[in-house]
Amino acid sequence: ETGVTQTPRHLVMGMTNKKSLKCEQHLGHNAMYWYKQSAKKPLELMFVYSLEERVENNSVPSRFSPECPNSSHLFLHLHTLQPEDSALYLCASSLILVQGQSYTFGSGTRLTVV
């Protein structure tokens, strides 16, 4: 384990379903991130949280809704997704939200929308 745990590892959902992805870290980090990784594309930053406050929403559709109830947990709530949303969703954390920080990544959730 890398220190950042993501569940579930795999998720298949229909376009009308509602599901949530979970990310947990006990590294004492104060910044957490959601990334989307599609095949052969660079990682796309979706959301950034610092000290439980959202500081970045990178033009993400409203069918993705993040939640950070405390500094150790981050959720991504999903509803009414489209097939093009199928991807690997990665959570990461860093000690603080400043440039140059080293990231710790989770193993990701492989999402398939049918």
Contact region with another protein (CB under 8 A), list: 12-20, 60-68, 74-82, 90-98: 90-98
**Interaction of residue 40 with another protein, rule CB under 8 A:** yes
**Interaction of residue 66 with another protein, rule CB under 8 A:** no
Q: What is the DSSP letter of 60?
A: -
> Smallest gap, in angstroms, from Cβ of residue 12 to another protein?
15
Alpha helices, H only, the chain: none
Pairing mode, if any, of strands 109-113 and 87-94? antiparallel
Contact region with another protein (CB under 8 A), list: 12-20, 41-49, 60-68, 73-81: 41-49
> Smallest gap, in angstroms, from Cβ of residue 26 to another protein?
16
Is the Cα dihedral 74, 75, 81, 86 positive or negative?
Answer: positive
Contact 60, 78 (CB under 8 A): no
